[in-house]
Structure 1
Amino acid sequence: MKYHIEKNTVQETLIIPLYGRKKCTEKFPQLFKDETAVRLIEQIDYDFSEVEKKGDSTMQEFGFLEIAIRQNDLAYEVKEYLKSHPNAAVVNMGCGLDNTGRNCDNDSCRIYNIDFPDVIEVRNSLLPAGEREKNIAADLKNTSWFNEIQADGGVIFFASGVFYYFLTEDVKALFLAMAKHFAQGRIVFDTCGKTGAKMISKTWLKQAEIKDVNAYFSVGDAQKEIAHWSDKFEVSSRGYMLGYQSLNVPSVKRIHRILAKVGDNMMKMKIVRIDFK
């Protein structure tokens, strides 16, 4: 029996990125593979007709490519951290139905997936926690969830498409609390500059009923804008689309490579890394 997802519900927000990862696997096989997304889409009862109508447009394909590259970037950072901290906690903040933690599993790390209770309810049905893994129902802003993370072997947090919906002051408060509680830990996440946020304000910002773009978290220069928040922060960043890998593969169109340069350079799409000293 398939898991039914209603239109216009919070649970529906899980479906679009999951569908995107499935399409990435189909359209960009040289770059990305998410077998979990392909399997889960088959297990979900949801009307994909509206999404599928736009699936072959140039911009929609680029949106799928963005999803693929972002997940690859974050997975790269997790795997790099695990090389020096093999017994670390790997924490997926705002996990949805993403399986990156398990895909990075080195057979000794501990994996934590955190999201709102109604999201975790769906996840527990479709992606129940495996060995050394825990699904945590929590609001990221309520830091009581810190106590559920066993970080004696180190900890790397990652967040995919999460902080765009946070006020800048909330992100700062969360990061400061994390630095205090998880000394020597690391967080990696995606962001874009204010121009990028305004350019996409007709999509995710509008859907989230966000009107004052400037109040929400965006970053033009991570070192300048975040490093001064605390002397416990060591901040670095890389281009989101082109900072980790080449897009010179047959499945990626020339227009997509051009858009990738625009994204990294004009929209300031970045993967930001903060090490807590």
Structure 2
Amino acid sequence: MKYKIEKNTVQETLIIPLYARKMCSELFPDLYRDETSARLIDKIDYDFTKVAQKSESFMQKFGFLEVGVRQNDLAFEVRDYLKTHPNASVVNLGCGLDNTGRHCDNGICKIYNLDFPDVIAVRNELLPAGEREKNIPCDLNNTEWFEKIDASDGAVFFASGVFYYFRYEQVKSLVYAMAKAFPSCRLVFDSAGKTAVSMIAKTWIKQAKIKDVNAFFYVSDAEKELSDRDNNINVSSKGYMLGYTDLKDESVSAFFRLLAKFGDNVIIIF
């Protein structure tokens, strides 16, 4: 039996990033591998026709590359934190059907996957929690979920493609609350400048009925805008296309590397 996902539902938003991870694995296997994505797509009852048609375009293939590289970057930061905090909690904020927590599992860490209840309902069917793992339904902006995270041995939080859909003040409030509740922990997420966020918004602005794109989260200078020593927030950032890899692989064209150089977004590390 396949799990049916209806059109125009919150659950449908899981499809595009899942398909992108699958395609990146097929197009750039030496750079990114996510066998889980292909397995999950085979278990989903959904018409992928339109998504597949769009996947043939040049820029869509670059988009697949972006998604895979971003996941690699976040996984690097998670594994780096686990080197010094092996028993820590690994917390995927806005997890969707992403399996990065398990990909980074060192055998003793704790893994938490957080998302809206409708999303977690799908995840529980397709990716039920394993050993040392919990799938938690919640609204990230309602900080009651803090109480469900065991950070006694440290915690590394990461959010992939999530904060673009939050208002600036929501991100700021959430980050400040996390810094207070989880001192000495690490938060990693991707962000972009105003122009890039405006382009992203065009794909969902009508459905979300958003009128003021300027209110949504973007950064121009992450370290300058987000650092706050009074609130125990220290920030560093790297370009997420070339900050962790030079992309010098035969599967990546010279033009794609040029696009990466001029259009690099950033990974933010708290």
TM range (shorter): over 0.9
CA distance, structure 1, for counterparts of residue 227 and residue 20 of structure 2: 33
1:13-52 aligned within 5 A = 13-52=13-52
CA offset at residue 207 of structure 1? 4.7
Check the 8 A contact 2:228/2:234 in 1, yes or no: no
Check the 8 A contact 1:85/1:154 in 2, yes or no: yes
Q: Deviations over 1:28-59 (max 9, x none)?
A: 00100001001001111110100111112111
The residue matched to 1:238 in structure 2 has which SS? strand
Residue of structure 2 in register with 1:214 after alignment = 214
CA distance, structure 1, for counterparts of residue 24 and residue 222 of structure 2: 28
The residue matched to 1:256 in structure 2 has which SS? helix
**Size of the alignment, in residue pairs?**
270
Check the 8 A contact 1:193/1:220 in 2, yes or no: yes
Give the counterpart letter for 2:14 in structure 1: L
CA distance, structure 1, for counterparts of residue 251 and residue 209 of structure 2: 35
1:239-258 aligned within 5 A = 239-258=239-258
Check the 8 A contact 1:227/1:234 in 2, yes or no: yes
1:30-109 aligned within 5 A = 30-109=30-109
Check the 8 A contact 1:176/1:230 in 2, yes or no: no
The residue matched to 1:250 in structure 2 has which SS? coil
CA distance, structure 1, for counterparts of residue 203 and residue 248 of structure 2: 28
Residue of structure 1 in register with 2:268 after alignment = 272
CA distance, structure 1, for counterparts of residue 148 and residue 137 of structure 2: 11
Residue of structure 2 in register with 1:115 after alignment = 115
Give TM-score scaled by structure 2 length: 0.97
Q: Deviations over 1:190-225 (max 9, x none)?
A: 000112112333224455433312111101111111
The residue matched to 2:203 in structure 1 has which SS? helix
Residue of structure 2 in register with 1:149 after alignment = 149
Report the CA distance shift for 1:105/1:197 in structure 2 as closer, same or farther (over 3 A): same
Residue of structure 2 in register with 1:190 after alignment = 190
Runs of 5+ unmatched residues, structure 2:
none
- Report the aligned-residue RMSD: 1.2
CA distance, structure 2, for counterparts of residue 29 and residue 41 of structure 1: 18
Percentage of pairs with the same residue = 64
Check the 8 A contact 2:188/2:267 in 1, yes or no: yes
Check the 8 A contact 1:172/1:229 in 2, yes or no: no
Give TM-score scaled by structure 1 length: 0.95
Check the 8 A contact 1:198/1:213 in 2, yes or no: yes
Check the 8 A contact 2:82/2:88 in 1, yes or no: yes
- Answering whether residue 237 of structure 2 is matched by residue 237 of structure 1, we say yes
Residue of structure 2 in register with 1:4 after alignment = 4
Runs of 5+ unmatched residues, structure 1:
none
Give the counterpart letter for 2:101 in structure 1: G
CA offset at residue 248 of structure 1? 1.2
